[in-house]
Structure 1
Amino acid sequence: MKRFAHRGVMAHLPENTMSAFNLALEAGADGIETDVHMTKDGELVLIHDETLNRTTDGNGLVSACTIYELRAFNAGIRHGREDKIPTLQDLLKLVQDKSVLLNLEVKTDVLRYEGIETKIINAIDASGIEPSRILFSSFNHETIHRLKRMRPEIEAAILIAQPLFDMVGYLRTVGADGVHPHIDRITDAEIKWLQENGVPVRPYTIKTDAQLERCRALQVDAIFVNDVEWSRKTL
């Protein structure tokens, strides 16, 4: 069962920052999960929300700012430290020579960011990172459909917060490979059914010992955790 550092090691450092990503590497995470948005001038940046308000000392939409403007904000303000909003290129450069996996959650479920899929593919191609180390996910399943058509060799998963009817059939329709379900919104029977049909299952976000043990017992493919060290010690 692989462990993905959810937004880096966000339990201890500002989420979606280079500090949190570096700690994930130090903690021995199998993968790093991050969220991809696009700026006003077409740069791919790593931040969870569509707005700057919660995680930085800025306000307003990420998409209303240029990359130069975003660099002026502090993404570590809630932790009393200085951290910039990184670009996707920053993270790709960090992991380029590592073996760690990279889960890119494409945040097109609220804002559509026209052309973001092409820009992500181009960034990955330019990095030289093997497609087998990349995993796409999104709550916008049209985005997943587009990405799979563009790069069928890169694994892609649908994110779901509620049950879906006939998930296996739905995956075929979308063209997706796996399912990333909310841990509390999927039953053991549904997980086993997906596994029996060869579908990778990676629940999010595992925060308690009971959730961790449940995933271990079900032998899911991977989990998303805020604290990689905690998950290692608990297991």
Structure 2
Amino acid sequence: MANVSSYLNSLANYLWALAPGSCTPPSIQPRLIAHRGAHGRGIKENTLKAFDICLQMGVWGIELDIHLTRDAEPVIHHDPDCGQPFNRPDLIIADTNFNTLRQAIPDIPHLDEVVARYGGQLHLMLEIKSSWRDRAELPHRITESLSSLTPVKDYHLLSLVPDHLEGFSQIPPAAFVDVAETNTGEIIRQNLALGHGAVAGSFALITTTNLRQLQQAGKQVGTGMVENHAILNREAYRGVDWIFTDHILSLLPEADKQHKQRNR
């Protein structure tokens, strides 16, 4: 399914390359977010190495995924198990104590390490992968790790399920990002009803009408997954706040060049 989604996204990047604004360099550069860090070329996703590259290259933000271990330690990894990219599908994070996980796969970061290393330097887009209804300790443990940072200014919490964010009572809803897959209309409806601060989704599925509706309601909007400069230009032209990408290293040089030209 992931391969099909990736193919469809690449096709959309190709088809939308001639859309209005795609050939117009943006007057205001949107904030680029490296989806799971600057991975590829031997660098594994959601690792300190992938995030270090982003810090060194001056990327605005990183998206990363959070799971709780059996002993309620928040770690950075996309899937419930460690099959990808570590080839350990036998290790289920929720069933494994942190020390055991760290010994088996040292490259999976703890959230505290991420905050200490990048907090205030990279904007953290933290995707919540499970529900507080299943793990009651989840909101407190993550909020505790983020206590040195300022919500909205330094980080946002993301989820494909808006209710996953409702348990974080100590974090303002303005810092919550509801993420759409193919259910853009439903996610927007829930976002407006719950009063969360932002919506993110596919650049091909968040229409300009959706975008204007959200902007008029005072919401921030992020789109992904952008693969080329034409779509980056198009999304900047449309006025989105954030652009998510798995291709940060190929997009960033052009973004830096445009930024320097505007500030001469």
- Deviation, structure 1 residue 15: 0.3
CA contact (8 A) 2:179 2:187 kept: no
Q: Which residue of 1 aligns with 2:4?
A: none
Supply the AA of the counterpart residue of 1:51: D
TM-score between both structures, scaled by the size of structure 2 = 0.77
Higher relative contact order structure (alpha carbons within 8 Å, sequence separation ≥ 6)? 2
What amino acid sits opposite 1:203 in the alignment?
T
Q: Does 1:9 align with 2:38?
A: yes
Q: Which residue of 2 aligns with 1:115?
A: 137
**Aligned residue among 95, 98, 108 for 1:85:** 108
Structure 2: distance between partners of 1:24 and 1:42: 28
Mind listing any 5+ residue stretches in structure 2 that lack a counterpart?
1-29, 256-264
- In 2, are the aligned partners of 1:134 and 1:154 still within 8 Å (CA)? no
* 1:69 shift after superposition: 1.7
Instruction: Give the counterpart letter for 1:66 in structure 2.
Output: N
Aligned-partner residue type, residue 19 of structure 1: K
Give 3-state SS (helix, strand or coil) of 1:223's partner.
Answer: strand
| Contact in 2 for aligned 1:73/1:85 (Cα 8 Å) | no
- Runs of 4+ deviating beyond 4 Å: 166-169
Identity across matched positions, percent = 23
Tell me the distance in 2 between the aligned counterparts of 1:195 and 1:4.
20
C-alpha change, 1:73 and 1:177, in structure 2 (3 Å) is: same
Structure 1: unaligned runs, 5 residues or longer:
75-82
8 Å Cα contact 2:184/2:206 also seen in 1: no
The answer to whether residue 238 in structure 2 is matched with residue 218 in structure 1 is yes
| Whole-Å separation in 2 of the counterparts to 1:152 and 1:50 | 27
Letter of the 2:85 counterpart = T
Q: Is the 8 A contact 2:173 2:197 kept in 1?
A: no
Q: 1:140 to 1:163 in 2, by over 3 A?
A: closer
- The whole-number CA distance in structure 1 between the counterparts of 2:222 and 2:88 is 33
The answer for the alignment partner of 1:175 in structure 2 is 195
- Cα 1:8–1:65 change in 2 (3 A) is same
What's the C-alpha RMSD, in Å, of the aligned pairs?
A: 2.1
The answer to whether the Cα contact below 8 Å between 2:184 and 2:205 also exists between their aligned partners in 1 is no
In structure 2, the CA distance between the partners of 1:153 and 1:198, relative to structure 1 (3 Å rule), is: closer
Which digits, 9 at most, give the CA deviation of each residue in 1:46-80, with x for residues without a partner? 00011111211312321111111211334xxxxxx
SS in 2 for 1:230: helix
How far 1:154 sits from its partner (Å)?
5.6
Match of 1:70 in 2: 101
CA-to-partner distance for each residue in 1:205-226, whole Å, 9 max, x for gaps? Answer: 2223343222122121011112
Contact preservation (8 Å) 1:89, 1:123: yes
Give the aligned residue type for 1:30: W
Structure 1 residue 2 displacement after superposition: 0.4
Matched, 1:209 2:232: no
Of 167, 172, 177, the match for 1:146: 167
| Letter of the 1:144 counterpart | L
TM-score of the superposition, structure 1-length normalised? 0.85
Contact 1:56 1:73 survives alignment (8 Å) = no
8 A contact 1:4–1:222 mirrored in 2: yes
Which of 1 and 2 has greater Rg? 2
Please report how far the alpha carbon of residue 153 of structure 1 lies from its aligned counterpart in structure 2 after TM superposition.
Answer: 6.6
**Of residues 136, 139, 154 in structure 1, which corresponds to 2:157?**
136
